[in-house]
Amino acid sequence: MFIVESYGLAVLFCIITMLCWGSWANTQKLVQREWRFELFYWDYVWGIFLLSLIGAFTMGSMGDSGRSFMDDLAQAEGGNIRSALIGGVVFNLANILLTAAIAGAGMAVAFPVGIGLALVIGVLINYLMHSKGDPILLFLGVGLVTVAIILNAVAYGRHSGSKGKKGVGKWIVVSVIAGVLMSTFYPFIAAGMDLENFVSPAAGKMTPYTAFVVFAAGIVVSNLVFNTILMRKPLEGAPISYGEYFRGRFGVHLVGILGGCIWGVGNLFNLIAAGKAGPAISYGLGQGATLVAALWGVLIWKEFKGGSKAVNALVAAMFVLFVVGLGLVISAGG
């Protein structure tokens, strides 16, 4: 299987993760006017599962290093498989709430609040589990990101208030809940892998490729429960049926699958990089997707259009703090 051998390449993979995780939500925005997020989310989930299988049977089965996907899956212990499955369930609950917040409040708000919070908590959890990297630089970077999250929430509150928008508090709360849940999924996947040795993984442990497939299976299975509940009792709007999903245009379905594949590429590269960079730094850099998504929301989707000077200053300060904070996270692993 393909294995990352250097810290520099690991950082590059994490940057690709950041771009993918920060960009997939554009696909949801593209179909938002004709396709409810609950319907989009089904295609998104199938896209993640499809990408995990493609990665497992290509990069995860090529070369002589490590174990090929099928051999690795056959020898994986039940406890490690359950751990990755649970990670998929936790992630799915978090992500479906995040997608709802994106639909209700926009990328420039849901990502900085939800994923920014996930970055802060997740880095702390992953560092406590696997102490890799300079703790001073790592935690200082996380602290700056925390301040950036607060500034973003304040900017959104002021901007929405000036526009007379309702439900501001609801979407911030949904984003916070999504962020807290999102911060806990990664350790479940990491626990099922041998992060110290991808070349000759310990017996019973999984390679990143196998762990991703199991994780994605957990997303698919749990979506039957979570998304069905949201379709019948939506956070906003009238209930919808499965019939509406099957009546959707083929092109709209493809956009959702593309969104899942984009996120999947990011997750695969992140897991591959975790062995060399360490889960705290790998996860932290990946969740720098917050910055990428905020840029999409502000520059492309104009989600803060018409904001006051004070609001624009808060948004600018948020970007600066995110950039500096992520730079410190990168430096922590050097």
Which pLDDT value is given to residue 265? 97
Label residue 154 by pLDDT band (50, 70, 90): confident
- Domain total for the chain? 1
Joined together, the tokens standing for residue 86 give 């649970």
**CA 196 – CA 278 distance, rounded (Å):** 9
Question: Would residue 149 count as lying in a domain?
Answer: no
* Average pLDDT for 84-102: 94
Q: Tell me, what DSSP letter sits at residue 201?
A: P
Question: Contact at 8 Å (CB) between 117 and 289?
Answer: no
> What's residue 333's pLDDT?
67
Nearest CA-CA partner of 244 in 235, 254, 252, 255? 252
Please report whether residue 309 resides in a domain.
no
> How does pLDDT run across 240-265, given as a tens digit for each residue?
999 999 999 999 999 999 999 999 99
CA nearest 328: which of 288, 289, 295, 292? 288
Which structural domain range is residue 112 located in?
7-130+171-289
pLDDT band for 80, please (50, 70, 90 cuts): very high
- Our CA angle for 67, 71, 75, nearest 5°, is 100
Q: Give the chain's end-to-end CA distance (angstroms, integer).
A: 25
Which runs of E-coded beta strand occur in the chain? none
Alpha carbon separation from 61 to 3, 56, 301 (Å, rounded):
11, 6, 40
For 296-312, how does the pLDDT look when each residue is reduced to its tens digit (9 = 90+)?
888 888 878 888 899 99
Lowest pLDDT segment from 166-170, 240-244, 273-277:
166-170
Asked if the structure places residue 316 within a domain, the reply is: no
pLDDT of residue 334: 57
β-partners of residue 206 are 193
Q: Is the pLDDT of residue 164 over 80?
A: no
| Selection from 79, 96, 99 nearest residue 214 by Cα | 79
Question: Residue 160: inside a domain, yes or no?
Answer: no
Q: Is residue 325 part of a domain?
A: no
In a domain, 235, yes or no: yes
The model's pTM is 0.86
Question: Does residue 103 lie within any of the structural domains?
Answer: yes
Question: Which token pair is 235?
Answer: 């956070």
- Give pLDDT tens digits for 9-64: 998 998 899 999 989 999 998 999 899 999 999 999 999 999 999 999 999 999 88
Which of 172, 182, 206 is CA-nearest to residue 192?
206
> Does residue 146 lie in a domain region?
no
- The C-alpha angle with vertex 259 and arms to 93 and 220, in degrees rounded to 5, equals 40
